[in-house]
């Protein structure tokens, strides 16, 4: 079989492609690790708050379907609703601080704030449950509720950018790993 020489630029592109594939494997592994950390954090905070978990089998219908699924699981005698998406992991200390501030402020809505930008999770008083249960994609979902109650929002300042973390891309997962440290 004759030897066919490969042009040096093609060899370089091949090596770069292999490096990219390895980086992507590493990011996927780290993302799985972050998801496990997030699940453990949420489970710990949920146990402490006696929270309920809800699974949305119709998630492909949009974010609002997941929110509505969770809201259906909220008992009528609840005091508040803490809205936290699975791709927005938060340490229990942030959840505790927000809950304590929400209870002390007695505002209908509490949100974390970092460098002038709102983050997550959002806490709503249970009095807003009927309004929350009527959200839809066409009316901007939860954002519309926030806009209607703009003057009644308790903003809690955090020096930690973690309150704005959202894991939508491999780059987001890498940024989260840097924030959380090498163990993730």
Q: What is the pLDDT of residues 109-164, one digit of tens each?
A: 999 999 999 999 999 999 999 999 999 888 888 999 999 999 999 999 999 888 88
pLDDT at residue 69 above 60?
Answer: yes
Stretch 5-25: mean pLDDT: 63
The residues spanned by each domain of the chain are: 38-179
Whole-angstrom CA distances from 156 to 26, 73, 160 are 35, 27, 11
Is pLDDT of 60 > 80?
yes
Q: How far apart are CA 119 and CA 162, in angstroms?
A: 9
Distance between terminal CA atoms of the chain? 48
**Nearest residue to 130 (alpha-carbon basis) of 62, 57, 78, 56:** 78
CATH of domain 38-179: 3.90.550.10
CA distances from residue 167 to 26, 44, 79, 171, 182 in whole angstroms, order as listed: 15, 20, 29, 8, 17
* pLDDT tens, residue by residue, 170-182: 888 887 778 776 5
């Amino acid at each position: 079989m004759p030897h066919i020489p490969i042009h040096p630029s093609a060899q370089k592109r091949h090596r770069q492609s292999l490096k990219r594939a390895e980086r992507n494997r590493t990011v996927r592994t780290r993302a799985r690790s972050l998801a496990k950390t997030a699940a453990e954090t949420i489970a710990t905070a949920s146990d402490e708050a006696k929270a309920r978990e809800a699974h949305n089998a119709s998630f492909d219908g949009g974010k609002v379907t997941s929110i509505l699924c969770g809201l259906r699981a909220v008992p009528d005698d609840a005091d508040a609703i803490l809205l936290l998406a699975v791709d927005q992991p938060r340490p229990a200390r942030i959840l505790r601080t927000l809950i304590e501030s929400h209870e002390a402020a007695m505002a209908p809505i509490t949100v974390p704030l970092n460098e002038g930008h709102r983050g997550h999770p959002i806490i709503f008083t249970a009095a807003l449950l009927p309004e929350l249960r009527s959200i839809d994609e066409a009316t901007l979902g939860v954002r519309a509720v926030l806009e209607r109650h703009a003057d009644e929002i308790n903003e809690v300042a955090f020096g930690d950018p973690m309150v704005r973390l959202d894991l939508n891309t491999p780059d987001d997962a890498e940024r989260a790993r840097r924030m959380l440290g090498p163990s993730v």
